């Protein structure tokens, strides 16, 4: 059947950065699109001169004064997120503390080329943030039709579904703290600034009772300061070589974002380090 209309199939590519389009003033969009393009090329390995992982950022059009070299990841994170400012998360009910922590997150971030590096740094930063960790487990549902879901839902497949996380999906077990910074993983409501890549601070976590939701405040763009409430939503897994059947993971649509990949940072704006 596919052969009947194969010649009529048209491939479309995404050409607009939605986060830039909806979260910055029109007069800044051209400049930010150019910076986003350079960051995307750097993250994708294009226009790389040396090929050894070390590049002169000024050669790529970046201001070298915005970057510094450091040998230890811990020292690096301490410089970006000083301990005395992270301690403000203990008293988010005080407006001055909340504003100071929001200003820190809005102006700074750590960029890394690989997701494994980002996950390591984010885990370390979550441990540095004061307060108790709240772990929320996703709800899993087998979707594949014509397949015995009871057979698939064995301990082996259960573990694989819990540990296998594709790009754009939240973790099965999401670890959060009040006062942590997160990134939205889905386009939910562009007019309210809730698009893929929006960074927010978590101010309240509800995981029991009648409903499960996160209360967050948007950090950047024209919607900065807006309070939003995020429910758990469904994320669909399509079959691949690791898990050859469809399943749904219902989880909060966020991930910890003290650090992010260079590719994911396209369209973001930071006034600090």
Name the pairing type of β-strands 259-261 and 110-112.
Answer: parallel
Measure the CA–CA gap between 196 and 23, rounded to whole angstroms: 11
Average pLDDT over residues 226-234: 95
Stated pTM of the model: 0.72
3-state SS record for 257-271: CCEEECCCCCCCCCC
Average pLDDT over residues 86-98: 95
**pLDDT bracket for residue 54 (50, 70, 90):** very low
- DSSP category for residue 238: P
**pLDDT higher than threshold 90 for residue 42:** no
Strand order in the sheet with 254-256: 227-231, 213-218, 199-206, 181-184, 254-256
Measure the CA–CA gap between 186 and 195, rounded to whole angstroms: 6
Report which listed range, 38-47, 194-203, 243-252, is most confident: 194-203
Mean pLDDT lowest for which of 16-30, 168-182, 201-215, 216-230?
16-30
pLDDT at 230: 96
pLDDT at 51: 47
Mean pLDDT lowest for which of 34-38, 157-161, 236-240, 243-247?
34-38
Average pLDDT of the chain to the nearest whole number: 80
Tokens representing 199 are 């960074």
Angle between helices 115-128 and 73-80 (to 10 degrees): 60
Residue 4: phi and psi, rounded to 5, are: -65, -30
**pLDDT higher than threshold 50 for residue 52:** no
**pLDDT bracket for residue 45 (50, 70, 90):** low
Average pLDDT over residues 145-155: 57
**pLDDT higher than threshold 70 for residue 133:** yes
**pLDDT bracket for residue 231 (50, 70, 90):** very high
Measure the CA–CA gap between 230 and 215, rounded to whole angstroms: 6
Average pLDDT over residues 136-160: 69
**pLDDT bracket for residue 71 (50, 70, 90):** very low
**pLDDT higher than threshold 90 for residue 256:** yes
The per-residue pLDDT for range 194-229, each reduced to its tens digit, is: 999 999 999 999 987 767 899 999 998 889 999 999
Tokens representing 5 are 């209309």
């Amino acid at each position: 059947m596919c052969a009947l209309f194969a010649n009529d199939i048209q491939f479309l590519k995404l050409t607009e950065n939605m986060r830039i389009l909806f979260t910055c003033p029109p007069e800044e969009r051209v400049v930010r699109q150019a910076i986003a393009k350079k960051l995307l090329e750097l993250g994708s390995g294009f226009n790389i001169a040396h090929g050894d992982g070390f590049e002169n950022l000024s050669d790529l059009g970046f201001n070298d004064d915005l970057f510094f070299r450091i040998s230890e990841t811990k020292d690096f994170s301490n410089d970006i997120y000083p301990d005395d400012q992270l301690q403000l998360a203990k008293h988010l009910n005080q407006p001055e503390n909340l504003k100071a922590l929001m200003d820190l997150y809005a102006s700074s971030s750590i960029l890394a080329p690989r997701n494994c590096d980002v996950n390591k740094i984010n885990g370390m930063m979550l441990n540095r943030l004061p307060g108790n960790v709240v772990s929320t487990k996703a709800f899993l549902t087998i979707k594949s039709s014509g397949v015995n879901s009871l057979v698939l839902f064995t301990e082996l497949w259960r573990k694989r579904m819990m540990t296998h996380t594709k790009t754009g999906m939240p973790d099965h077990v999401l670890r959060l703290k009040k006062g942590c910074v997160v990134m939205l993983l889905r386009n939910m409501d562009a007019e309210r600034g809730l698009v893929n890549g929006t960074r927010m601070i978590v101010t309240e976590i509800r995981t029991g009772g009648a409903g499960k939701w996160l209360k967050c405040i948007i950090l950047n763009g024209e919607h900065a300061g807006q309070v939003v409430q995020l429910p758990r939503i469904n994320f669909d897994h399509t079959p691949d070589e690791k898990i050859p059947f469809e399943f749904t993971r219902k989880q909060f649509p966020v991930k910890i974002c003290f650090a992010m990949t260079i590719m994911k940072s396209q369209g973001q704006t930071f006034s600090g380090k």
